[in-house]
DNA sequence: CGCAGATTTGATATTGTTCAATCCTAGTGG
DNA sequence: CCACTAGGATTGAACAATATCAAATCTGCG
């Protein structure tokens, strides 16, 4: 359950941070020395809940997680999807009350990082503070892009845009290549993420398949026509602020 | 154009930060000593544009600003509205390329804070880094709430929710009281912020007036029935993370 | 084989959009 | 003091995108 000093679970975090910034050896070492309690969680299990006041952050080591909020009438809004290397609740380091929930999507391995250790890390390495801050700012940039989708893009564009985004995010940390990536997200989830009904998501996916843009089954997405898909939703990856810009 | 050492334009920033955190005398003093070039801008004037790489941040001293992004087909998404004390483009300190634009809504007085000075400030005062980080995290929390609105709330709830939010934000920095606040936002702007057409915004506003919930004219919003308005949109101010929680 | 969860389909209902006027109001110049 | 103007607000009618509901159908798995 506790990480041995020589396992490399924190390398996922390093890889992620290196996709959005540059790390020095010293910084890498400092991250590796973070204490982390590792745990395997079942699918669809809450990690932190709306209203909680957590004293640790959750680093995803394997599998997928998502953030969401429930409102009246059984409605749900999903804010983000997360994969290995992400710390989806990093904001809890500075916002003490959760205003939404975090849960696993698939079975997942996660590491818990005590706030205390993270605060200590930021005290000793202001340059790491800057990088973690940057990470949360990119998080916000992605929110803005989703807002643009829900406010001003139609269903087709929204879904296409999300696919482009997820592919690049996965590719940036080595979890995707050749326009193929895991996508263990149900159509209901997609709807709740994009402000659509599952029925409509289904119909749009069929259209995307019919136009030869994507293949999607058994949890694998293949983007068959990247350029056309990108053009169809006016995708511009600037907002991901990736250090090593991925293929366009 | 340059601020004299004894004018108090930076007090707006102090007041804002004190609405979300606690400042020490030393920190207040450090903020006051920031160099700031003050300028008066006309309404509807861009301050920073999508794609820019700014070397300064913009502090609003008076008037309103908003952040937005233009996409194809003349569509526009507004992400936020800002008032005195806000630094709407604080994220540019860590994200070097703007992925959206910032503009004045009304005539506005703004102060430009060089990135260099802000970085220097954060180096000397890690506790201020924490507070500025927190501010950007609250920004993101508001985005999440707007996402929830656009994804899962109907037009009435969205508008009501925005009114509750703006009132509390203004009240927190002393710009509103007695359920009355300035609201120099056109119906077109409201639509572009909430993912609605101006026509529909207009109709919903009429309904809100008809139900005796609000009064809105000549740029002034009066919330006539706070409790009912809040209930109608399930407003919960937690996400604003205000230090001194406002009246509920 | 037989669920349980996920996807797909069809029919119908709604919410909100679009387009095109018209009205209103504060500010302007005479 | 008033006609004039421009931006904003309001209205009506037709339309479109998407939701809802309910019933199959499919798929991986024990």
pLDDT > 50? residue A111: yes
CB within 7 A of strand D: which residues qualify? Answer: A 154-156, 191, 195-197, 199-200, 218; B 186-188, 198-199, 202-203, 205-206
CATH of A11-140, one of 3.40.50.2300, 3.40.1280.10, 2.60.120.10, 1.10.10.10: 2.60.120.10
The one-character DSSP state at A185 is -
Proximity of residue B112 CB to strand C below 7 A: no
pLDDT attached to residue B121: 98
pLDDT > 80? residue A247: no
* Cα gap A134→B49, rounded to integer Å: 20
Chain region(s) in chain A for CATH 2.60.120.10: 11-140
For residue A244, name the pLDDT band (cuts at 50, 70, 90). confident
pLDDT tens-place string over residues B184-195: 999 999 999 999
pLDDT > 70? residue A70: yes
pLDDT attached to residue B7: 64
Proximity of residue A197 CB to strand C below 7 A: no
Chain region(s) in chain B for CATH 1.10.10.10: 154-240
Chain region(s) in chain A for CATH 1.10.10.10: 153-240
**Cβ neighbourhood burial of B85 (10 Å; 0-12, 13-18, 19+):** buried
pLDDT > 70? residue A7: no
CA-to-C1' distance for B115 and D11, Å?
50
* Cα gap A30→A27, rounded to integer Å: 5
pLDDT tens-place string over residues A43-69: 999 999 999 999 999 999 999 999 999
* Cα gap B88→A178, rounded to integer Å: 38
pLDDT attached to residue B248: 42
| Fold annotation for B11-139 | Jelly Rolls (2.60.120)
- Which of left, alpha, beta for A37 (phi over 0: left; psi -120 to 50: alpha)? beta
CA-to-C1' distance for A228 and D10, Å?
41
* Cα gap B179→A171, rounded to integer Å: 49
Proximity of residue B42 CB to strand C below 7 A: no
Tokens at B27, concatenated: 């920190």
pLDDT attached to residue B244: 72
Query: Which nucleotide's C1' sits nearest to the alpha carbon of A195?
Result: D18
Which residues of chain B are modeled with pLDDT < 50? 1-5, 245-248
Tokens at B71, concatenated: 């996409």
CATH of A153-240, one of 1.10.10.10, 2.170.190.11, 3.30.70.1450, 1.10.3720.10: 1.10.10.10
Chain region(s) in chain B for CATH 2.60.120.10: 11-139
**Cβ neighbourhood burial of A202 (10 Å; 0-12, 13-18, 19+):** middle
Domain B154-240 has CATH 1.10.10.10: yes
* Better-predicted residue by pLDDT, B7 or A241: A241
pLDDT attached to residue B9: 86
Sheet of A65-71: strand order equals A46-48, A101-104, A65-71, A75-82
């Amino acid at each position: 359950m506790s990480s041995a000093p020589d396992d490399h679970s924190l390398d996922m975090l390093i890889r992620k941070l290196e996709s959005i910034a540059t790390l020095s050896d010293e910084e890498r070492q400092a991250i590796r020395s973070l204490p982390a309690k590792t745990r395997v969680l079942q699918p669809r299990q809450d990690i932190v809940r709306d209203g909680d006041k957590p004293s640790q952050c959750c680093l995803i080591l394997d599998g997928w997680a998502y953030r969401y909020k429930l409102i009246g009438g059984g409605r749900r809004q999903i804010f983000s999807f997360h994969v290995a290397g992400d710390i989806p609740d990093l904001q809890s380091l500075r916002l003490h009350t959760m205003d939404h929930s975090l849960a696993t999507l698939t079975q997942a391995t996660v590491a818990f990082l005590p706030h205390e250790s993270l605060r200590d890390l930021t005290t000793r390495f202001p340059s790491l503070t800057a990088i973690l801050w940057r990470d949360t700012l990119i998080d916000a940039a992605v929110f803005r892009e989703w807002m643009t989708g829900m406010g001003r893009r139609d269903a087709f564009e929204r879904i296409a845009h999300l696919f482009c985004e997820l592919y690049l995010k996965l590719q940036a940390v080595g979890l995707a290549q050749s326009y193929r990536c895991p996508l263990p997200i149900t159509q209901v989830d997609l709807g709740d993420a994009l402000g659509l009904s599952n029925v409509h998501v289904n119909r749009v996916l069929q259209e995307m398949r019919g136009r030869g843009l994507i293949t999607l089954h058994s949890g694998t997405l293949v983007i068959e026509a990247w350029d056309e898909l990108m053009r169809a939703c006016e995708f511009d990856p600037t907002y991901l602020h990736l250090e090593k810009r991925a293929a366009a």
